[in-house]
Amino acid sequence: MKIGFIGFGEVASTISKKLLDNNVDVLSSINGRSDKTKKLAKNSGIDLVNSFEDVALSSDILISTVSPFEALEISKKYGILTNGIFLDLNNISPKTTLEIFDFFKGINEKKSSNFIKGSIIGKISSKNQIIYLSGENSNDLILLKDYGLNIKVIGSNITDASYIKMIRSIYSKSLTAVTYEAFKISESLNMEDEFFEVLSITEGKDFEIQARSRIKSLKNSHERKYEEMIEILKFLESIQSSNDFRANNMIKATKNKFKDIK
């Protein structure tokens, strides 16, 4: 079995390691990628081919791990080329998920049925992380449990995995934004230690570890998280009336906070 990745950041790197440890052939390309991505891919031990077209054509399972803004374009450019399963693991809205599905359905039924939406719940490097899957043929990927991945199929409706990711992200990303802002204020007052101390009383002894992890992750990937917040707003706009949508001030504030981080 060959599994290919379009995009090779933290998600692809972490999943690849598990697959390689279980003797799966993993491939990707570094054509046109950043120096950071090239270094990560070269050090990972995966097979590097000349182009992403080659990745798509050679893979039994093709996995998209790019930014939310790129997800639709990538599916149209490379997802169409694979004869196997196309798995999208990007944090995209149900609306974008349906756009990808409709694109494949416009080609043929096989393409749309072989499109599977995946949502990573939990930090990708965490032992407790789960990949939720939805789509007509999502049960075909249960076999990945045998290759080191924690998989859970939640439905045949292509948008199900995206829905659960959006709901969780509304909570977790808003919490991250509030934590970051409170931390920066305490830092400016030279009360960083006191900030963690008083909140650990009510939030638990592991609060500082978890909070610092959130803050570090946000600093390192705030641009991607900003794109994810835009996907969340698309989701809310699609399920609420215009009056309700205008009330989502916390979600909008979170998006703007992620955009402004330096």
Choosing from 117, 133, 155, the residue where a domain stops is 155
Instruction: Note whether 186 and 229 are same-domain residues.
Output: yes
Six-digit token pair at 20? Answer: 């390689």
Instruction: Note whether 147 and 200 are same-domain residues.
Output: no
Task: List the CATH number of the domain containing 62.
Answer: 3.40.50.720
Choosing from 155, 189, 215, the residue where a domain stops is 155
The boundaries of the domain holding residue 172 are 163-260
Instruction: Note whether 148 and 186 are same-domain residues.
Output: no
Which pLDDT belongs to residue 54?
A: 96
- Render pLDDT for 220-262 as a digit per residue (tens, 0 to 9): 888 888 888 888 888 887 776 555 555 667 778 788 888 888 6
Answer whether 0.85 is exceeded by the pTM.
no
Instruction: Note whether 184 and 132 are same-domain residues.
Output: no
Comparing 102 with 110, the larger pLDDT belongs to 102
Phi/psi region, residue 203 (left: phi>0; alpha: psi -120 to 50; beta: rest), is alpha
Total tally of structural domains belonging to the chain: 2
- Render pLDDT for 205-216 as a digit per residue (tens, 0 to 9): 999 999 999 999
- Render pLDDT for 48-71 as a digit per residue (tens, 0 to 9): 999 999 999 999 999 999 999 999
Instruction: Note whether 124 and 224 are same-domain residues.
Output: no
Instruction: Note whether 172 and 240 are same-domain residues.
Output: yes
The secondary structure of 81-122, three-state, reads CCCCEEEECCCCCHHHHHHHHHHHHCCCHHHHHCEEEEEEEC
Task: List the CATH number of the domain containing 178.
Answer: 1.10.1040.10
Which pLDDT belongs to residue 240?
A: 65
Instruction: Note whether 149 and 244 are same-domain residues.
Output: no
